[in-house]
Amino acid sequence: MDKLIKNNTYRLTVEGYASDGSGIARADGFVVFVPFAVRGDECDIKIVKVLKNHAYGIIEEVVSPSKERIQPECPVFKKCGGCDFLHMTYEEELEYKRQRIEDCLYRLGGFDPLFDGVEPSLDVLFCRNKAQFPVEKRGEKVVSGFYRRRSHQVIPTRTCLINKPNASKLANAVTDWAQKYGISVYDEESGKGLLRRVYTRHGSLGDHLCIVATSGDIPYADELVAAVREVCPDLQGVVVNVNDKKTNLVLGETCRTIWGSPAMHDDLLGNRFILSPLSFYQVNRDQAEKLYRKIAELCQLTPERDALDLCCGVGTITLTLAPHCRKVIGAEIVRRAIDDAGFNAKMNKVENAEFICADAGDAALQLKEKGFAPYAVVLDPPRKGLDERSLDAVVSMDPERIVYVACDPASLARDCRYLQEKGYKMTYAKGYDMFPRTANVETVACLTKSEQAT
């Protein structure tokens, strides 16, 4: 064939995976991206879009399935955007994640570190401690679920296989309450309506519920509290987050407690943490403990050495490092998270940890001016990574070690390549599967000053 033709069907074999988890097949020089394919599948693939050197297709029929293909257990898989890999074995998913990290390290970053593979999740299903359910009025019925891929259309679901079971119970209780008492549901086009989302968190000490609404005044609030406590007896608190803006941002800036604790409490590596709805926290607790132990190991701290934790959130990594060093400082741009971090340090009687509210670059520069010289710097930025200004500020502190944690291996490779140009060499990398059944994977990398690494 000279050129793939849109709407024609071709029999192709899936050879591997793209960065988003789609399968990759090839046809006479064309790369064809195919959602929900498994390496080794032989499929009849309908071409839906043709570009210069690649195309996109959909599976019409799996002629000969891969030995790694399995039957999805979720009835809304492929419609809902929550999962990517319910159609393949977990072993194959881990292989995809290993290859994705390696591709980023070797191809994008040009690194050749000791790559220690991907740490599998202890639990593959019902493992996520955080869930956000958008709410929608479907005809006369109030429903919650997850957005269809690349849309804001809610796919209703009463159960979810990747979130903790109480998350679905709480979401169902809220939508049933809204249905019973005629609570208005937010409409994105008009900007009218009260109820926007149900946001749940699960910790070792119980669950926490946040209702995202356009007002903090919730009618029938007592009835709401009674309904959610009935389905979740260990509930710690119910909070309303006020988001009255026409925006894609999930949360607003203010919260109002209508029952119980204003924040969730959880135990992690011997420390107890308080987490407001606005504060970041890893979604897979068991994996987070493994990751944080590895971070502490890579920092190689001693009682005579100091550490800096940039983008520290509520201080989980900071307090993990504290027993291993003389002093550790955490920096975070979100004021509510820094307030939580300071409280967490006091609650756990950690006296050698301090916290400042600033972005990563500003924090590094401020601390350098004050003479703070950390032996190790931990970077745990959002998915987009850090800008060159912030990375330059970190390098100016001249740490012996930089430990970089990322939920996107591509942004990690980009930023670490920049750090390598500034005199640091990546010596170790390892993946941690924080997000089973999705295409996301966490990666930790250690960089040392080049003269130390040689």
Please tell me whether residues 448 and 306 are part of one structural domain.
Answer: yes
Please tell me whether residues 235 and 310 are part of one structural domain.
Answer: no
Q: Is the pLDDT of residue 226 over 50?
A: yes
In a domain, 114, yes or no: yes
Region 257-270 average pLDDT: 94
pLDDT at residue number 52: 86
pLDDT at residue number 150: 83
Q: Is the pLDDT of residue 2 over 80?
A: no
Parent domain of 24: 9-64
In a domain, 444, yes or no: yes
In a domain, 350, yes or no: yes
Is residue 407 annotated as a catalytic residue, yes or no? yes
Mean of per-residue pLDDT scores for the chain: 94
In a domain, 448, yes or no: yes
In a domain, 69, yes or no: no
pLDDT at residue number 53: 86
Closest CA to 282 of 171, 169, 355, 203: 203
Q: Enter the pTM of the model.
A: 0.92
Q: Which is catalytic among the residues 311, 407, 416, 446?
A: 407
Please tell me whether residues 232 and 199 are part of one structural domain.
Answer: yes
**Confidence grade of residue 454 (pLDDT, cut at 50, 70, 90):** very low
Only one residue has tokens 């509520």, namely 314
Pair of tokens at residue 255: 């919260």
- Domain count for the chain, please give it: 3
Please tell me whether residues 204 and 299 are part of one structural domain.
Answer: no
The DSSP line for 335-361 is HHHHHHHHHHHHHTT--SEEEEES-HH
The DSSP line for 233-259 is TTEEEEEEEE--SSSS-S--SEEEEEE
pLDDT at residue number 48: 95
pLDDT digits (tens, 9 = 90+) for 9-45: 999 999 999 999 999 999 878 899 999 999 999 999 9
Region 192-208 average pLDDT: 95
Please tell me whether residues 316 and 397 are part of one structural domain.
Answer: yes
pLDDT at residue number 357: 96
